Amino acid sequence: MRKTARRLAVLGSALFAMVAMTPVQAHAVESRPAPVTASDKYALKSVGAGGLYVSVEVSTTGSGEAMLRARKAAATLDELGSWEKFTLHTDDKGVGATLRSEGNGNYVTTERGYTGTYRNLLRARGTTVGEWEKIRLEKQADGTYALKAATNDGYKYVTAEVQDPGNDAGLLRARGDSVGSWQKFQLVPLGEENASDAGGRPSPASPAPAADFRVMSWNVCANHNSACGNHRVEGPSLGSQITDRMGTAAEARQYRAVFLQEMCESQAKPVETWLEQKTGTGWDVRFAPITFTVDNSSVKAARTCDNAGSAASGWKDRGSYGIGLAVPDSNVWYHSYDLPSPQNKTVGTEWVRVEQRTALCAVLPAEALQFCTAHFSAGVETDDLDGTKRREQAAELQKIVRSYTMPGYRTVYGGDLNAVPPDSASPDAPKDVVTSAYAADKECDEGLSAARPRDGRATKPLSARSIKIDYLFGPATGTVVSCAVTADAGESDHYPLTAHFRF
């Protein structure tokens, strides 16, 4: 596998609990099935505790339930279980990070309300990300990390209590004012465990069978944009909106893929359920997060979606933000890829942290079909104003659907590529981001206008104009039976794009 390819996890049937926890609930841990998230996995290895890995004490009861302790000896990473595995998340664009336990699915919290020897104890009990869940990373000269957590006395270094006896030995507390061995941890990447993509794409059916199917791409805007009706929407509502746009049940059964951008991780399984109810067939929805590089580190954290709910009714975690890909459950292989993205930079006098974008592919070997979707960087000053990285992202997407793909697959790809077509009449620039895609394949709306063949109907309504930035490309040897843009964004700020392909 390529080094830029990131592990994509299968989403579990109960990803996120929808119950918020307030700071006064310091002695209660929300019980919920542990999720399998799509974020990169890490283990924490304590230097001061002689190389012991940090575990979440899921089976402990009372005020110490789910406390973090350096106690696990392991000769290989295969010996680590869910109690020793964490994902990294950020709700402040990488200023800091939040650890999420794979053991119980909760976010690690600093117990600022505790007193005595358990003051500022770290426990995996948060069901949403707040100030008590935030940790800052400081990379040390020897490659280890010091973790700094917010306490009532300011930020303190997380310490493995190596000297404490008995049941308190190795507990993690935020209490250090300087960095010594007790405050140093190795952040150990855990690789591609449980990956459905292990071993590369399977061979497609040969000869490739005829295929007649539909595909949809829609930026659902279920993320951070408060101007969108989907800003804080939960999965069932999103699933209803998607399936409503697939037509009748008979028409919906013709779909082989749905590309989704700006969705939340917790929405994946409900969307899958709605697709199955609409079509009467099995579906599988996968998710890949968009990330930020965490300050003072060389690691990335998945950006969290804004919570659902409200302060009055209680906030509900929606997990990470990113892209989704829905295909029939006859699939056997998925993979996500890091796309080249702008790095954090200074714009004017402001230090700007920039989203790291991703692409996601799946294959249906029996039908010799591959589907790939992506969400490119935005053409704004704080992201990719001149289009340099979007051109690189387009080139990488071409490699993904060609150089990294076994011969015999017919690929449909696209998504929100955040650039206008080469023949667009709009004043937007650059217009060459997707030139390579038009040269290699056929976009579903291509040829709609003889005067501007590499153009199409607008998918993004703006206040002064509307532009096309959403695409569906298929092999030039195939036939585009139809292509449609329904001028109904619903609760989004994009129109859904649908195509009927025949190979």
| 3-state SS, one letter per residue, for 456-492 | CCCCEECCCCEECCEEEEEECCCEEEEEEECCCCCCC
Same domain, 472 and 354: yes
**Predicted pLDDT at 457:** 96
Residue 178 shares a structural domain with residue 222: no
pLDDT for residue 33: 43
Q: Given this model, what pLDDT does residue 331 score?
A: 87
Report whether 325 contacts 360 (CB < 8 A): yes
Q: Centre a 10 Å sphere on the Cβ of residue 458 and count the other Cβ atoms it contains.
A: 20
256, part of any domain: yes
- In three-state secondary structure terms, 445 is coil
Instruction: Say whether both 163 and 227 belong to one domain.
Output: no
pTM reported for the whole predicted model: 0.91
Alpha-carbon gap, residue 285 to 271, rounded angstroms: 7
Same domain, 116 and 64: yes
Question: Is 328 within the bounds of a domain?
Answer: yes
Structural domain that includes position 414: 212-502
Helix, strand or coil, per DSSP, at residue 305: coil
Residue 89 and residue 39 in contact, taking contact as beta carbons nearer than 8 Å: yes
Q: Is residue 199 one of the residues assigned to a domain?
A: no
The last residue of one of the domains, among 137, 154, 189, is: 189
Helix (H) or strand (E) holding 279: helix 268-279
pLDDT of residue 463: 87
| Residues 160 and 224 occupy one common structural domain | no
Q: How many CB atoms lie within 10 A of CB 217?
A: 26
Instruction: Give the β-pairing of 441-443 and 470-475.
Output: antiparallel
Sequential pLDDT tens for the chain (503 residues): 344 444 444 343 333 333 233 233 333 344 444 455 778 899 999 999 999 999 999 999 888 999 999 999 999 999 999 999 999 999 999 999 999 999 999 999 999 999 998 999 999 999 999 999 999 999 999 999 999 999 999 999 999 999 999 889 999 999 999 999 999 999 999 965 444 555 678 999 999 999 999 999 999 999 899 999 999 999 999 999 999 999 999 999 999 999 999 999 999 999 999 999 999 999 999 999 999 999 999 999 999 999 999 989 999 999 999 999 999 999 889 999 999 999 999 999 999 999 999 999 999 999 999 999 999 999 999 999 999 999 999 999 999 999 999 999 999 999 999 999 999 999 999 999 999 999 999 999 999 999 999 999 999 999 889 999 999 999 999 999 999 998 876 799 999 999 999 99
For residues 316 and 304, the answer to whether their CB atoms sit within 8 Å is no
Check residue 197 and give its pLDDT: 55
